[in-house]
Copies of this chain bind each other. A is one copy, B any other.
Amino acid sequence: MAQKQVSIREIAELSGVSVATVSRVINNNGRFSETTRQKVMAVIREQGYETNAMAKGLRMRKSNTVGIVVPDLNNSFFADLVEKIEQQLFETGYSTIICDTARDPYKEAGYLKMLEAKLVDGLIVISGLKEFDSQQLSRHVPIVCIDRKPNTNKIKYIGSDHYKGAQLATEKLISAKTNPVLLAGSRDSPSLIDRIKGYQDTLSKNELPADNTSVIRLTEEEEQTPDTRRSALREILRKLMTKSQPPIGIFAVSDTLAADVLIAAHSMFISVPSDLKVIGFDDAPIARYCYPELTTIRQNTDEIAVRATSYLVSAIQGKTEQNSSINKLVDVSLVNRSTV
């Protein structure tokens, strides 16, 4: 991908070294000092010089590190996914720099700049409200977005089939004789939009009203701490129990939220699953610590990690990914445990 046609001779002149030296640096072949390498590399970067062979050579002297930008390591789904990606990358010979943005766009911009300065060979961007804007980066590196829409189709998108997951969850709750509501946090995201659509389409298909009142969102204030979340959820449960006959069915769009619903229900002596049926999303580690253990939609984090890593490494190594399955959504499945 030649950005500008600069000859190796010009690179040599600008670096103040011989053509042979530039060639050795590019091909990582023979003797040269670190000073020389940095000098040559700086000129190459300044000039935006790149050819396939060169790209390959440069890569051999690149950092062998990949940056991961993640919104919240305290969310066990993200922590699990990041650990799996890190493991895959490590086995492929790459070190992983993990950056936690706390869902703060300003922090995200800062970390992207930092990762660029550290010369990462590639980037994995996980989740996020807005489209990922590759213009934030000043040089070209391969990028994979997981559950985050990129602003250009040059960036690979990998994500679960959130729509299908919501269908499975909703059908499960309908077949358990509930008229399910969907419960979500305050933040919008492309995956949430897909899940809401899957839920609503499934209601319609089953001739149940898909009105707005069946989508319940926590406010930002309510979701602030475990205590505010649970107090809001108790209020929601109280209303649902007043409005409808048990069993109540709740499709919580994350396992963390479902876990909070269960805690709130326990404190109100609501019996799960007889009076309240709950289904989560993710099959994050927390799902196995809920009581009763959480019925949920499993996102295949192993598969997501493998796809993200293999695509990114291929792109870093300049190989075109021929496997078209890479463009398909990652399949999800229902995990039957004890809350429905």
A residues apposed to B, CB below 8 Å:
15-16, 33-35, 38-39, 42-43, 46, 63, 65, 72-74, 76, 79-80, 82-83, 86-87, 90, 95-100, 102, 107, 110-111, 114, 117-118, 226, 259, 262-263, 266, 285-286, 288-293
Once the chains bind, are A90 and B73 in contact (CB under 8 Å)? no
Which residue of B15, B33, B97, B110 contacts A98 across the interface (Cβ within 8 Å)? Answer: B97
> Do A98 and B95 contact each other (CB < 8 Å), given the known contacts A42-B35, A42-B38?
no
Once the chains bind, are B86 and A100 in contact (CB under 8 Å)? yes
Once the chains bind, are A263 and B285 in contact (CB under 8 Å)? no
- Could you say how many copies of this chain the assembly holds? 2
A-B CB contact pairs (8 Å), 6 listed: A35-B42, A73-B98, A79-B79, A118-B118, A259-B289, A263-B289
CB distance from A296 to the nearest CB of B (A): 14
Q: Which residues of chain B are near A72, meaning CB under 8 Å? A: 83
> Do A83 and B102 contact each other (CB < 8 Å), given the known contacts A42-B35, A259-B289, A263-B293?
yes
Other contacts beyond A65-B118, A74-B80, A286-B289: 19, CB < 8 A: A15-B35, A16-B16, A34-B42, A34-B46, A35-B43, A38-B38, A39-B39, A63-B117, A73-B83, A74-B285, A86-B100, A95-B110, A95-B111, A97-B98, A98-B99, A263-B291, A266-B292, A289-B290, A290-B291
Q: Which residues of chain B are near A111, meaning CB under 8 Å? A: 95
A73 to B15, CA, bound (A): 43
A259 to B289, CA, bound (A): 7
Q: Which residues of chain B are near A97, meaning CB under 8 Å? A: 97-99, 118
A90 to B74, CA, bound (A): 17
A15 to B259, CA, bound (A): 60
Once the chains bind, are B288 and A226 in contact (CB under 8 Å)? yes
| Closest B residue by C-beta to A90 | B107
A74 to B117, CA, bound (A): 28
Q: Please give me the 5 A-B residue pairs with the lowest Cβ-Cβ distance, nearest first.
A: A291-B291, A98-B98, A35-B42, A95-B114, A38-B38
A149 to B245, CA, bound (A): 59
CB distance from A62 to the nearest CB of B (A): 11
A159 to B16, CA, bound (A): 52
Q: Which of the listed residues A35, A76, A80, A107 has the most CB atoms from chain B within 10 Å of its own CB?
A: A35
Which residue of B38, B83, B286 contacts A39 across the interface (Cβ within 8 Å)? Answer: B38
CB distance from A121 to the nearest CB of B (A): 12
| Closest B residue by C-beta to A93 | B110
A72 to B285, CA, bound (A): 13
| Closest B residue by C-beta to A87 | B102
